[in-house]
């Protein structure tokens, strides 16, 4: 009888440890990226364009762009939160889906691509705003050709030549770096 009691205590202890460990790992939040990668940790806060989280067992806060994240499953409640919709770029014809980002914080979790640029001709008969839009379209087309969903804008300038803007002496030049999932 004493031997069976000891075996029962060991079995109960082992079961308690197993259930205890399962409940600890169930507390982890699962951050699913559009690339398919799943990040396990604890979401600290959601900001407008970023998610701040901590890896399990670490105190350092990490930041990931919301653009890189599809969804979050919260470990404590099991609640699912859709974060962003995946942008699909099949080629240059999808240029209008490309998103221009102006802050380095918004690229965290995305993969860096090549440099892209868009410019208007030096002699063009567009107003400044139209030339700017044409340069932006060319920039997005360049990124879409590379399969990049995002552009981190690195340079945005308009130059005015010896001829005044009214005659067409302005040129809009935009440069950036393409990023993808």
- Mean pLDDT computed over every residue of the chain: 85
The pLDDT-based confidence of 124 (bands split at 50, 70, 90) is low
Query: Considering the entire predicted model, what is its pTM?
Result: 0.74
Q: What is the pLDDT of residues 25-63, one digit of tens each?
A: 558 999 999 999 999 999 999 999 999 999 988 999 999
Neighbours of 164 (CB within 10 A): 10
Task: Answer whether 116's CB lies under 8 Å from 177's CB.
Answer: yes
The pLDDT-based confidence of 132 (bands split at 50, 70, 90) is confident
Q: Which residues touch 72 (CB under 8 Å, ≥6 apart)?
A: 29, 30, 31, 32, 43, 51, 80, 81, 83
Task: Answer whether 71's CB lies under 8 Å from 54's CB.
Answer: no
């Amino acid at each position: 009888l004493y031997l069976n009691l000891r075996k029962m205590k060991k079995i109960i202890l082992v079961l308690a440890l197993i259930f205890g460990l399962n409940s600890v790992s169930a507390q982890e939040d699962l951050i699913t990226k559009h690339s398919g990668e799943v990040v396990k940790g604890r979401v600290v806060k959601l900001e407008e364009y970023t998610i701040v989280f901590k890896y399990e067992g670490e105190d350092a806060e990490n930041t990931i762009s919301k653009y890189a994240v599809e969804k979050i499953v919260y470990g404590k409640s099991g609640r699912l939160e859709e974060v962003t919709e995946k942008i699909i770029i099949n080629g240059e014809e999808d240029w209008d889906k490309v998103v221009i980002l102006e802050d380095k914080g918004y690229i965290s979790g995305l993969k860096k691509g090549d440099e892209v640029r868009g410019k208007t001709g030096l002699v063009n008969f567009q107003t400044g705003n139209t030339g700017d839009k044409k340069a932006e379209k060319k920039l997005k087309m360049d990124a879409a050709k590379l399969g990049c969903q995002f552009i981190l804008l690195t340079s945005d300038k308009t130059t005015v030549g010896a001829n005044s803007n009214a005659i067409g002496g302005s040129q809009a030049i935009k440069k950036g770096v393409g990023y993808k999932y």
